[in-house]
Chain A
Amino acid sequence: MRKSGGGRMWILRFGRYIRGAPSGGASYWGGLSPGRRFTQAAAGGSDGRQDAAGDPRRRGRVYQNPTWQHVEQRPLPEKKVTVEVFDHLERLALVDFRNWEGVQRLEKAIQFADQLHAVNTEGVEPMDSVLEDRCLYLREDNITEGNCSEELLRNARETVEEYFIAPPGNIPLPKLEERDTFLQVSE
């Protein structure tokens, strides 16, 4: 957890707030040397997790004494992302990479995430939500909301008789060859 206040960076580590030196490109991992990879073992993790959901004392608790395991750092293969993939991403997510700097930022982000491959996850069930041990709250089938069309329509630039206005259908992005984009420069 990072709280920024008055130009200083406060980094929560090991359950205590520590003042970290402000540095321009400081990463989340604070003062740790970039060469050291670490994993946090499932540190006797049952306490605090098995409690009933919503126990206010336990919610938001960080382990006081985490255990760290040093993992051998293997150089990860650098995967090159192809122009087709960038075109596909631009089309799907409607982002504009704009220039090579944007492309490089994406590649760096992929490399950063690839660090996860250094972890041995054999026999570990994949977690797709930190809420997995929470109970899904079931709401009763009562009408509690609605009737605020005026408020909602106020957000829209154009409305017609209480309807939102949108362009007529999806306009697909033109094909790579027909677009004016820096991606056209073949690598």
Chain B
Amino acid sequence: MAASILRRSLLTPRCRAGDVAALHSGPSRRRAQAPGPIASGRRAANSPAGERGVAPWVAVVGLEIHAQISSNSKLFSGSQVQFAAPPNSLVSFFDASLPGTLPALNRRCVEAAVMTGLALNCSINKKSLFDRKHYFYADLPAGYQITQQRLPVAVNGSLSYSLCVGRKKNQMVTRTVRIKQIQLEQDSGKSLHDDIRSQTLIDLNRAGVGLMEVVMEPEMSSGEEAAAAVRELQLILQTLGSSQAIMAEGQLRVDANVSVHHPGEAYGVRTEVKNINSARFLARAIDYEIQRQIKELENGGTVMNETRAFDFKLGCTIPMRDKEGKQDYRFMPEPNLPPLILYDTKSLPANTNHQQVVNIDWIRERLPDLPSVRRVKLVEQYGILPEHSFTLLNEDGLMEFFESVVRQTQMNPKKVIGWILNDMLGYLKQHNLKVKESPVSSLFLADLLNLLERGTISSSAAKQVMEIKKGNQKVLNKLIGLVQRTTRGRVDPVLVKQILEKRLSQ
């Protein structure tokens, strides 16, 4: 086993512990990883010590997240931002990189980036610069992407997320990951590969859309942590409104940098995993990659510094053909854009055009309650458990549903939450429904719970009604049977069914 450790090539230079400044290595996009503090609480992922006499492995996961800014027009041009549209219909001359066109920065995108930076506890750079990152690809018509590599809008923040640990997954712990920077950049177009005719179809509708790149420090150690962090970031972005962050529509893209090493030794070679379409696949992709690297190293092989794509059908990562080795992006300052200056109330010069100025303090005052704050408020207001508030906020619309029921019922919120989480949510999940699509309305549930509170009906009866409402025909027939028995068969069953259905649909 020692041989495999020796053969492991160290492409990432060593950094002194805590020497975060050394991370920024000039033109290369491959940043060196800083050794985060290996906390005593962090258990070795995946390979328990003592198995085959191998020392435990620790995985290091760093995320680069691209969130599409929710705005009407693109970052540097006035063409519309829309998900599904006829190909090349939302493209301006600048997006197509026709000669003679110049970028004009969208104010809303700057505000979105500042909001996100403030929500993630970053320090906002009052002066930030734009750069060009050059590489050739058919969906990048200009041959370069305008980004902020030298001096981004926001730096040095943190994101706190919770996840369930323990064998029974019932213990909630809070972890924090540091945010290295948040920068504004352009999106590229979309390419559809036609392998049959050996060509690529290019659609530039997405080219030029504003993105916020959130770069996290490599401080996570499993797919689960990464998925929890991404979920929390998604909630924050949706609450702020700076991005709708729907992964399925490509509004939130996550690239994971994964490497493994033995605790106490230098970091291993990292690979980049791309093409992850949902939070669930993110956890699986990272876990698969960790396992693959461990197996590779334990069998005496080496891990190559490459980019891999996640194939969700096979559940594995495969090397990407198109990415050539180490890229030199030839960063250069964007000559067409002056520095972006942001102000706060102290530095705001007098007699300035309100439209031309972005005031950080003004934005900070108008930040909505972040998910973490809303969870605390829910716990305080209704006396529910933190785990419950976590679930309430995790499901789109569930919190509003819960509050609406509580408003209309006399039942104690602590009991209401049980009905919501156990009966309602379980059912919705089983049938893959969103809260909006629930057959049970909040009014109906509130009425039902009121009846239960007053003792008019029993708990089991209430559960049966819920079943019927959800469309369980068997229980409806059972009720009809009951009615028949009580009326000793003197009632027309069809009429009974009609009346019952009418009452239940109210």
Identify the A interface with B (CB < 8 A).
88, 92-94, 128-129, 131-149, 152-153, 155, 160-170, 172
Instruction: Known A-B contacts: A138-B356, A139-B73, A141-B109. Give 19 more (CB < 8 A).
Output: A92-B330, A129-B339, A135-B341, A138-B358, A140-B107, A141-B107, A143-B78, A145-B94, A146-B78, A146-B90, A146-B91, A153-B88, A164-B203, A166-B138, A166-B191, A166-B200, A166-B202, A168-B195, A169-B322
Q: How distant is the Cα of A118 from the Cα of B273 in the complex, in angstroms? A: 47
A163 to chain B, nearest CB (A): 4
A101 → B minimal CB distance (Å): 24
A3 to B: closest C-beta gap in Å: 21
Q: How far apart are the CA atoms of A134 and B334 in the complex, in Å?
A: 14
Interface pair B340/A139, CB less than 8 Å apart? no
Residues of the B chain whose Cβ atoms lie less than 8 Å from the Cβ of A167: 138, 198-200
Nearest Cβ on chain B to A129's Cβ, whole angstroms = 6
Tell me if B292 counts as interface (CB < 8 A to partner A). no
User: Known contacts A136-B338, A168-B199: does B356 contact A149 (CB below 8 Å)?
Assistant: no
How close is A160's CB to chain B, nearest CB, in angstroms?
A: 6
B92 touches A161 (CB 8 A): no
List CB contacts (< 8 Å) of B41-86 with chain A.
71-73, 77-80, 86
Q: Are B338 and A146 in contact (CB under 8 A)?
A: no
Residues of chain B with a CB closer than 8 A to A168's CB: 193-195, 198-200
**With A and B bound together, what is the CA distance between A139 and B107 in angstroms?**
6
The DSSP consensus for interface residues of chain B is loop
Most buried by A among B71, B91, B94, B105: B91
Complex CA distance for A102 and B333, rounded to whole angstroms: 27
Assess the A141–B79 pair: CB atoms within 8 A: no
Question: Which A residues are CB-close (under 8 A) to B438?
Answer: none
User: Separation in Å of the A1 CB from the closest CB of chain B?
Assistant: 18
Residues of A contacting B110 with CB < 8 Å? 138
Contact partners of B193 in chain A: CB under 8 A: 168-169
Given contacts A88-B328, A148-B92, A165-B199, is CB(A136)–CB(B341) below 8 Å? yes
Is B321 touching A169 in the complex (CB atoms < 8 A)?
Answer: yes
Is the Cβ of A138 less than 8 Å from the Cβ of B80?
A: no
Docked-complex contact A161 and B104, CB < 8 angstroms: no
Bound form: Cα–Cα A183–B330 in Å: 22
User: What is the distance, in angstroms, from A134's C-beta to the closest C-beta of chain B?
Assistant: 5
Chain A, Cβ-Cβ closest to B71:
A141
Find out whether the CB atom of A136 lies under 8 angstroms from the CB atom of B105: yes
Whether the pair B137, A143 counts as a contact (CB closer than 8 A) is no
B204 within 8 A of A: yes
Residue of A nearest to B109 (CB): A141
CB distance from B149 to the nearest CB of A (A): 12
Residues of B211-255 at the interface with A, using a CB-CB cut-off of 8 Å, are: none
A145 to B90, CA, bound (A): 8
The answer for the CA separation of A166 and B322 in the assembled complex, in Å, is 14
Bound-complex Cα distance A133 to B86 (A)? 41
- Which residues on A sit within 8 Å (CB–CB) of B71? 141
Neighbour of A146 across the interface among B92, B136, B341, CB < 8 A? B92
Task: Determine whether the beta carbon of B203 is less than 8 Å from that of A139.
Answer: no
Measured between alpha carbons, how far is A145 from B109 in the docked complex, in Å? 17
Q: A141-B72, A143-B78, A166-B191 are in contact. Are A136 and B339 (CB under 8 A)?
A: yes
Contact status A147-B89, CB under 8 Å: yes
Would you call A165 and B201 a contact (CB within 8 A)?
yes
CB contact list, B330-371 vs A, under 8 A:
330, 333-341, 355-358
In order of increasing CB-CB distance, the 6 nearest A-B pairs are A144-B78, A166-B138, A145-B92, A141-B108, A163-B201, A128-B333
